[in-house]
Structure 1
Amino acid sequence: MNFESLANELLLDIFEYFNAIQLLHTFHDLNIRFNKLIYLYLQSYPLDFRSISKQDFDNICQKNLPLITNQIISIHLSNDDDTPEQPNLFFSYGFHFQQFTKLQSLSLYYIRSTDLINNIIHDCPYLIYLKISKCNFDDHMEKAQICVNNIWNLTKLKYCYLDIPFCNNFHIPLSTIISLSLENLSIANDLFNINDLICLFQHTPNLQNLNLRIEDTSYNEQFPFIISLLSKLKISFKGSLDTLKNLLQNMPTLSELIIETDGIYIDGYQWEQIIINYLYKLNVFRLLMFYKIDVEKNINDEIDQLLESFQTKFWLHDHQWFVRCDSNTEYGFIYLYTLPYGFKKFYNLASDMSKSTCSIDKKYHISNYVNSLSLDYFLLRFASQFPLQFSNINHLELSFPFDDVIWSILSKFDRLISIELVSIIHPDESDRPITHLRLLLNRAINLYSITMDYLIMSQLSLVQIINKSIRRLDLIANDGHFYGLECISLIQSFLGDQCEVLLINIENRSIVLDLVEKMPNLRALTFQCQDDQWGDSNESLLIEDEFIQWLKHRLPSNCLVVRDESELSAIRLWIR
């Protein structure tokens, strides 16, 4: 039996092991039947252009995409270091989003032009899902207002995720358009006060799921109306207890409350009354509370009183909501959280003591929700004394060297996608730490990216790494530069040989040519160079960029070469 004779159902099952890019590259236009099956697949899975090679991107845009624009329901576009200038290149092929008549889901990453984002959204009137992540609104309030209004004006939009980094006191403007369709909204990196929240609900009256940050220092701030449809609320809250009460008492339909509080003390008795009096339908409650007590107080007595308030029948029997309290006895920092820990990041400010209302069942000490962890010396020391375990870590920031405690903290490494190593060693140290690191890397079978400085990389190049999933090396950490011999060592290493995306500081421009020519799998390169003076210059960008021209004359003609708009000292190549 040959492959083409398999039933359609079996072929579709097999297709699930591929992404859309791989399917188009491998099977599209082989025959009419395969094309129809691919179209069926594209009705459920996105066309994800992140981490694609330039050659594959060019081929799909030239050969496949013009034939299937009316079949695509979901697209991801990105302008990060893996795929520099991808959105502009996409439009250079003559595409506009009005062609994608069935497009329902759109995800944009690292786009740095508000005008471009506005144009894209304007051409996608039928979106149901929109994600704008790590993009830039140019700190231009008028353009940002137009963009937000365009989003709220999408009549079918139900899901919206906005993760936009802001600076210089710039913040996301509130919509002046009313959206009756938007039901799920998540806004990261921006702060809302109660008045902002009132305006948000007035212009988004059908919200059912909301995730944002609230900071309101006013007292007794009244919320003027009942929010009758909201069932899930995830907030980071900084303000007064009265303001929080006034907010929650107007959300009687909440079934899920996930809340982080900063600088506010709310004991178990107070939470019990809030939940009983206002949140009648609450089934899921996750709490993370941080505050600092007066150093003159006895921190042990303070913690005992706090934990006692969470040991009533309501907490221990009716709901079985247990809590744990970690503290730093020297500075009076206290972290109290429900068990198991229910947030994506784990916080620990050099805690040296821990107590809990649940001391028997180990399952409550396993933190399945945490996917990003900063594992420094203090947390390693803390975890060696108190039970703590993480099983679903995607991103790990790790102080190097580390000891054997790590194996008990991280029970599995198969979910680990990226790791950032923070060096605290001298190059004369024993090779034992690098042996620990080698073992970790070889166990992380799905690890894609490593961020480290040139000292750690120079040590890793001397040991045997067998992990074939590592494809991205970020070596721009600290101020060190790679010189000729160090680059040769990188090129000849196992990690260098399989590296597809490289970020690096180099001594001189000729090294770029060696990296491009001698690293066989390299498809994207971002670098800073000591003999490039452009990034430090105040000259107009209209002046010819000598370094860029030098590169274009020496690199393959299909290699895209651009200077980073937000960091002029960095140059980005999309090679092959």
Structure 2
Amino acid sequence: MSTKAQVHFQLLPVELVHKIFDYLNAEAIVFSMRLVCKQLYSIVNAYNRYELDFRYISKSDLPLLARIIDPDAIISLKLSKTEKERSIRSLLKHFRTDFTRLQSLALFNLYDRDLKIIQNRIMKCPLKTFSIFNELWNVRKTEAYISNILLHKDLSKIEVKLDYDSITLIDWPMSCGLKHVIINNCSSATIYTILNHSPNLGTLVITDNYFENFEETITNDKQFNSVISLSLAISANIAMENIRSLLSCLPCLAHLRLISKTLSSDDSLFDGSEWEDLITAKVTLLKKFEFSFFGDLSAYNGSVTPKSMINSFQTLFWLQTKQWIVKCEDGPDNLQSWTFHIYSIPIFIDEFHYPSPVFRVVHSTLNTDVRCEKVTVDTNRLILYLTKMMSESTLELVSTIVRVQYCDSES
């Protein structure tokens, strides 16, 4: 009779155990795994990829955690002053030296004095990722701090969520090594500045843009060939001419996402032939195109209907060459009954409420019974109404597929 060999966790290769530790928080590693046995005690002591989130470390655990973990073993910090008595100075004083191997830093709602303390301790760190989320008023030096962070030679990704005025004051270096930029509340002039000063930029995500007069911002025929992914969430009335001016600078785009948050008055946005001409002329390498636009049917005086709009997206270019599916539906309840919503599948929404009265497809380029079609939603945040789900029929519930994407931001 053969017996199955038993594999003990502590006998796994150290590299594999450390890989498992990468998915645990520092408290679990230090206060649980380290105390299991002598073997795991040694494995934990050799671990050097700690990620500390000070938002969730208790005040009583912090001193012990700081004594056990060598600052050189910390590669990621998330800092937030959530209580008055827990200043950044009091948090960091527990660590005897600076964080010389810090690669990722995320800051949440900090004041000027906090930023100054942090800057003194991390300016020499090999930062690769930096994030700042600040909703506080009267923080006057945030933009200067970000400008200094941009000077880090190893920095490749930055995420900024500040008020509009602060973002416009950021001083971008003449040439920075950023490959990924996520930013909110910025003007078209700021977008062009980022493009012009980031020769290695591959991904640009703008979460709230007013998109005013982009064609006037462009001062020459310069093209930014490194950018392959662009995502814009637009809070103002968008025009096709604005988009045309932007795409003329980005000939190598492979992924384009355009999400309009307001009613659009430019009927070119709802015309598949206009988009086909633009894409074939300006962004021939585009493989993935996601869009969501709201329109006003009353502006057409009955001459245009959702059905006639969807017909323009039923050419060989859309259905066979690109295989991009487009749907049209009534506007959401918070808008008037004469509004309509035209979008690509899968649709991207930052926050999705389910079940939702928003999605009632009336026309699709697939020419099928729209009541039987599934609506696929990509979202960063899913909110479920359990009571309503229990009262709905099973058929209605399965008509929507929700794919929640991971988004590392302040919860």
Query: Normalising TM by the smaller chain, what interval?
Result: 0.7 to 0.9
Aligned equivalent of 2:281:
277
Aligned equivalent of 1:71:
73
Code of the aligned partner of 1:130: F
Query: Cα 1:293–1:183, aligned 2, differ >3 Å: closer, same or farther?
Result: same
Code of the aligned partner of 1:231: I
Q: How does 1:493-504 map to 2 (within 5 A)?
A: none
Aligned equivalent of 1:314:
317
2:317 & 2:86 partners in 1: Cα distance?
55
Name structure 1 gaps, 5 residues minimum. 373-392, 418-448, 450-576
1:321 is displaced (CA, Å) by: 0.3
Please tell me the root mean square deviation across aligned C-alpha atoms, in Å. 3.8
- Contact residue 87 and residue 114 of structure 2 kept, 8 A: no
Which of 145, 149, 160 is 2:143 aligned to?
A: 145
- Contact residue 39 and residue 71 of structure 1 kept, 8 A: no
1:71 is displaced (CA, Å) by: 1.3
Q: How does 1:38-437 map to 2 (within 5 A)?
A: 38=44, 41-43=47-49, 46-61=51-66, 63-65=67-69, 68-80=70-82, 85=86, 87-93=88-94, 99-109=98-108, 111-124=109-122, 125=124, 126-133=126-133, 135-136=134-135, 138-141=137-140, 143-164=141-162, 166=163, 171-188=167-184, 190-193=185-188, 195-212=189-206, 213-218=208-213, 220-221=215-216, 223=218, 224=220, 225-237=222-234, 238=236, 239-261=238-260, 262=262, 263=264, 264-265=266-267, 266=269, 267-294=271-298, 297-298=301-302, 301-328=304-331, 330-346=336-352, 354-358=362-366, 365-372=374-381, 393=382, 396=383, 398=385, 404-405=391-392, 408-409=396-397
1:251 is displaced (CA, Å) by: 0.3
Partner SS for 2:351: coil
- Contact residue 152 and residue 179 of structure 1 kept, 8 A: no
Query: Cα 1:364–1:33, aligned 2, differ >3 Å: closer, same or farther?
Result: farther
Query: Cα 1:404–1:250, aligned 2, differ >3 Å: closer, same or farther?
Result: same
1:19 is displaced (CA, Å) by: 2.6
Q: How does 1:529-540 map to 2 (within 5 A)?
A: none
Aligned equivalent of 1:569:
none
Q: Deviation per CA, 1:122-174: give whole Å up to 9, x if none.
A: 532310011223x2464444x1331221121111100111123x38x665523
- Contact residue 35 and residue 41 of structure 2 kept, 8 A: yes
1:234 & 1:365 partners in 2: Cα distance?
24
Query: Cα 1:244–1:84, aligned 2, differ >3 Å: closer, same or farther?
Result: farther
Partner SS for 2:160: strand
Q: Deviation per CA, 1:290-342: give whole Å up to 9, x if none.
A: 2323267238x421121011111010111110011122495422221111213
Code of the aligned partner of 2:201: L
Code of the aligned partner of 2:320: H
Code of the aligned partner of 2:79: L
Q: Deviation per CA, 1:525-545: give whole Å up to 9, x if none.
A: xxxxxxxxxxxxxxxxxxxxx
Partner SS for 2:216: coil
Whether 1:24 aligns to 2:39 is no
TM value normalised by structure 1? 0.58
Name structure 2 gaps, 5 residues minimum. 1-5
- Contact residue 143 and residue 167 of structure 2 kept, 8 A: no
1:34 & 1:416 partners in 2: Cα distance?
34
Q: Deviation per CA, 1:41-62: give whole Å up to 9, x if none.
A: 543x52333433333234313x
State the aligned residue count: 381
Q: Deviation per CA, 1:57-96: give whole Å up to 9, x if none.
A: 34313x323xx11111112223348x9836343134355x
Query: Cα 1:69–1:222, aligned 2, differ >3 Å: closer, same or farther?
Result: closer
TM value normalised by structure 2? 0.78
Partner SS for 1:59: helix
1:180 is displaced (CA, Å) by: 2.4
- Contact residue 130 and residue 158 of structure 2 kept, 8 A: yes
1:349 is displaced (CA, Å) by: 8.3
1:183 is displaced (CA, Å) by: 1.2
Partner SS for 1:73: strand
Partner SS for 1:70: helix
1:21 is displaced (CA, Å) by: 1.9
Q: How does 1:483-494 map to 2 (within 5 A)?
A: none
Q: Deviation per CA, 1:183-208: give whole Å up to 9, x if none.
A: 111012x1312x22222223323211
Code of the aligned partner of 1:55: S
- Of the two, which has the highest radius of gyration? 1
Aligned equivalent of 1:444:
none
Q: Percent of counterpart pairs with the same letter?
A: 20
